[in-house]
Amino acid sequence: MSSDALRLSGVSKAYGRVRALENMSFNVAEGRFFVLFGPSSVGKTTTLRTIAGLVPPDQGRVEIFGKDWTHEPIKGRGVSMVFQSFALYPHLSVFENFAYPLREEGIVSEEIKRRVMETATMLKLAHKVDRKPGTLSGGEQQRVALGRSLVRRPKILLLDEPLTNLDAKLRHDMRAELKRLHRQFGLTIVYATPDELEALSMGEEIAVMRDGAVVQRGTPDELYENPADTYVAGKIGAPHMNMIAAKVSKDGKSIDTPLGKFSGKQNLKTASGEKALMGIRPSDIELAGNSKSAIKSRVHLLEPLGDVTVVSVESGGETLRLVLPESKAQGLKPGDHTGITFDTNKIHIFRASSGQAIA
Amino acid sequence: MANSTSILEWLGFRKASGVTEAGWGHTLLVGIVSFIYFLPVLFIIFTAIKPQDLALSVPPTISPTSLFGLIPDQYVFTPTLENFGSVFSRVMTPGGSPEATGFDRFFFFFIFISSVSVLLALVIGTFAAYGFSRYPLKGNDTYLFIILTTRMLPAIVIVIPVILMFRVTGLSGSYLGITLLYTAFNLAFTIWMMKSFFDELSTDVEDAARIDGSSEAKVFLKICLPQVVAGLAATFVFGLILTWNEFLFALLLSNADTRTVPVAMNQAVSSGGRGTDWTLLASIETLFLIPVFLVTFFLQNHLLRGVTFGTVKR
């Protein structure tokens, strides 16, 4: 697999007694937009810092384009990084911020000027190159941080929650901007984020992290369709997957829930008689009026979100959420009785003991 | 709320709302307080330019001008620069001719000693502070505490061992000795001040420089140091003021040729057996104020400026 831009194998790192990374392994193909997704303090930043060489790992290997860089110095990796705090050089102008990495590479000043202005123009900062970072808006500072990383044409770009410090509108614009830059340069990007929307909308491949290790990796669709366990199921998809306590029948052919007996596409033989959880996505549940096959339920709460409405219903003692197009939710009131239904092929079944999905 | 006018607002106190120009009420209040603070300095300067016989006159003369008839004539004195002349040369023995007092030399050497010791402490202390801040040792806080003890204990406690050490090393009465002593004193204070400035810096910025290819030396020189320029200026000024005002050690460790200005000042006004010459003292003090005043004046922008300029979102 020589086409891997980056490969981490068995990387562990502890800060004192706090274990930041535990046997972390993943590889990123060249040119891929790779997202590390997980809540804060899960080890995303430590992973990026290990790749950049700022943090020496206690164990494991870091390979960049096939070369072992684990204990090599930072310089020469061809890796650049955008920090969550932007980390601009506050005493230098925008021009000098851009020029800094080029000067460190010993590039001649005409070439520096050309490349800085080219990058500044691309990021619409050409008219602000004489300003100090402190006088720029948040979005502009973000673009300076990005520009400083791009100007030296890195082989791998690391982005550590780069949009966290921006307001909602800017965040949306920057998501599109980053995708465009990725396409334009064909860069390998490793992007850390706790934001599910960012992960799903930008990542070509996502690694879901938990306690310093990768729990599951795949395309956004794979993670959405086939979450490996309840953790991933709970993290990917909004509103979150409905989880219903259940039990696999003795014969292993169906699953008993307070809503009824269901059998999906899973092979439940290995879990017969075990306690389990049945998961169903809110968008996979539909209203079924009063048809006989429908599951009886009562409307509990309505949350209109513009074009869709999140409806909470109670059925068999469980609360379920479903996402309905606004047109279908019209006329529903809390307290209404209504039937719901779902395609049993869409259900997910997890072992109650380990949380692992049953395929 | 917006339409009601309180008494304070009517008096010219504008409500604080972000960075707005203050109302005239605030300005006046600050002006009065500032004047009260400045009054002793003004008193010294006026005394320095009074004729000698009016220094202790009753009623006191308080102004060199009548302010267009505002101040009655009996409170007004005619300003003179004669006292400044006698700082450098005056009649030392009754009936004798004017002699040089050596104050030109005292001033020159004291400015030299103070600047060198403060700058030396700043250079060494900044390196040390960066080390303490970025590469903490085991027991970092203990070392910092020990460094501070020289400034924490009353000077009188330290003075005896210092005198003994100076006697043994033969540094007593030399400018070199005083310079080294002041450097040592300033170091403690410099290390603590500069460490707090370095602690304030975002380490992300330094990591960014490392990723951009900088060595540790360059991170310090090109990234960290320029960000603490305001801190360097502030530390320099405070160190200079501390050194400039030091009296006890200079008194005990200098001799007749190597006096610092505060010591020489003391000797000048108390010698001669004619009681205290107040106008002479005031003149020396006025000259004594000038160097520190100038340094503070030219560095005031740095003293006021924030340290990190708000480029790092926290």
Question: What pLDDT was estimated at residue A92?
Answer: 94
Question: What pLDDT was estimated at residue B15?
Answer: 58
Per-residue pLDDT band at B314 (split at 50, 70, 90): very low
* Statement to judge: residues A222 and A243 lie in one domain: no
A271 contact partners, CB below 8 Å, separation of at least 6: A248, A252, A349, A351, A358
Rounded-to-integer distance, Cα B9 and Cα A136, Å: 35
Q: Indicate yes or no: CB of B210 within 8 angstroms of CB of A88.
A: no
**Which residues does chain A have within 8 Å of residue B223's beta carbon, measured at their own beta carbons?**
89
Q: Over 90: is that where the pLDDT of B286 sits?
A: yes
Question: For residues B229 and B301, is the Cβ–Cβ distance under 8 A?
Answer: no
Rounded to the nearest angstrom, the minimum Cα separation between B224 and chain A is 9
Question: What pLDDT was estimated at residue B20?
Answer: 59
Q: Over 70: is that where the pLDDT of B304 sits?
A: no
* Statement to judge: residues A320 and A191 lie in one domain: no
Structure tokens at A298: 């009562």
Residues in B whose CB is inside 8 Å of some CB of A read 202, 204-205, 207-214, 218, 223, 226-227, 229, 308-314
Q: Over 80: is that where the pLDDT of B305 sits?
A: no
Strand partners, A242: A280
* Statement to judge: residues A108 and A251 lie in one domain: no
* Statement to judge: residues A111 and A37 lie in one domain: yes
For B82, how many CA atoms within 13 A lie in the half-sphere containing its CB? 9
Other Cβ atoms less than 10 A from the Cβ of A42: the count is: 22
Total-model pTM: 0.80
Q: Where in chain B is the domain with CATH 1.10.3720.10?
A: 103-304
In the predicted model, what is the mean pLDDT of residues B242-265? 89
Asked which of A229, A248, A277 is the last residue of a domain, the reply is A229
Rounded-to-integer distance, Cα A14 and Cα A249, Å: 44
Dihedral sign for Cα atoms in the order A352, A353, A355, A358: negative
Establish if A148 touches chain B: CB-CB under 8 angstroms.
yes
* Statement to judge: residues A171 and A268 lie in one domain: no
Question: Of how many residues is chain B composed?
Answer: 314
Domain region containing A172: 4-229
Q: How many domains does chain A have?
A: 2
* Statement to judge: residues A83 and A221 lie in one domain: yes
Rounded-to-integer distance, Cα A15 and Cα A19, Å: 6
**A161 part of a folded domain:** yes
Q: What's the pLDDT tens digit per position in B148-177?
A: 887 788 888 888 999 999 999 998 888 999
Q: Over 60: is that where the pLDDT of B18 sits?
A: no
Establish if A105 touches chain B: CB-CB under 8 angstroms.
yes
Rounded to the nearest angstrom, the minimum Cα separation between B25 and chain A is 32
Q: Over 90: is that where the pLDDT of B90 sits?
A: no
Nearest residue of A to residue B212, measured between CA atoms: A101
DSSP class of residue B52 equals: G
Per-residue pLDDT band at B312 (split at 50, 70, 90): very low
Rounded-to-integer distance, Cα B125 and Cα B122, Å: 5
Q: Indicate yes or no: CB of B204 within 8 angstroms of CB of A83.
A: yes
Element (H, E) at B110: helix B103-134
* Statement to judge: residues A200 and A275 lie in one domain: no
- Considering only the beta carbons, identify the residue of A74, A88, A133 that sits closest to B211: A74
Nearest residue of A to residue B205, measured between CA atoms: A87
What is the rounded radius of gyration, in angstroms, for the C-alpha atoms of chain B? 25
Of A317, A350, A345, give the one whose Cα is nearest residue A248.
Answer: A350
Asked which of A229, A251, A283 is the last residue of a domain, the reply is A229
Question: What pLDDT was estimated at residue A192?
Answer: 95
Q: Which amino acid is at A312?
A: S
* Statement to judge: residues A114 and A210 lie in one domain: yes
Of B250, B228, B231, B260, give the one whose Cα is nearest residue B105.
Answer: B260
* Statement to judge: residues A68 and A19 lie in one domain: yes
Coil, helix or strand at residue A35: strand
- Considering only the beta carbons, identify the residue of A75, A90, A105 that sits closest to B308: A90
Question: What pLDDT was estimated at residue A236?
Answer: 87
* Average predicted confidence (pLDDT) for chain B: 85
Q: Over 60: is that where the pLDDT of B308 sits?
A: no
Q: Indicate yes or no: CB of A75 within 8 angstroms of CB of B213.
A: yes
* Statement to judge: residues A195 and A135 lie in one domain: yes
* Statement to judge: residues A220 and A271 lie in one domain: no
Q: What's the pLDDT tens digit per position in B93-139?
A: 777 788 888 889 999 999 999 999 999 999 999 999 999 999 998 99
Structure tokens at B44: 């010294």
Q: Indicate yes or no: CB of A132 within 8 angstroms of CB of B208.
A: no
Per-residue pLDDT band at B13 (split at 50, 70, 90): low
**A259 part of a folded domain:** yes
Question: What pLDDT was estimated at residue B306?
Answer: 43
Q: What is the CATH number of the domain that holds A330?
A: 2.40.50.100
Q: What's the pLDDT tens digit per position in B33-70?
A: 999 999 999 999 999 998 888 888 888 888 888 888 88
Establish if A134 touches chain B: CB-CB under 8 angstroms.
yes
Establish if A89 touches chain B: CB-CB under 8 angstroms.
yes
Asked which of A186, A206, A229 is the last residue of a domain, the reply is A229
B74 phi/psi in degrees, rounded to 5: -65, -20
Of A61, A57, A20, give the one whose Cα is nearest residue A212.
Answer: A20
Q: Indicate yes or no: CB of B207 within 8 angstroms of CB of A83.
A: yes
**A356 part of a folded domain:** no
Percentage of chain B modeled with pLDDT above 90: 40
Question: What pLDDT was estimated at residue B309?
Answer: 41
Count of CB pairs separated by less than 8 Å, A with B: 76
Q: Over 70: is that where the pLDDT of B14 sits?
A: no
SS3 content of chain B, % helix, strand, coil (to 5): 65, 5, 30
CATH code 1.10.3720.10 for B103-304: yes
Which residues of chain A have a pLDDT value below 50? 1-2
**A318 part of a folded domain:** yes
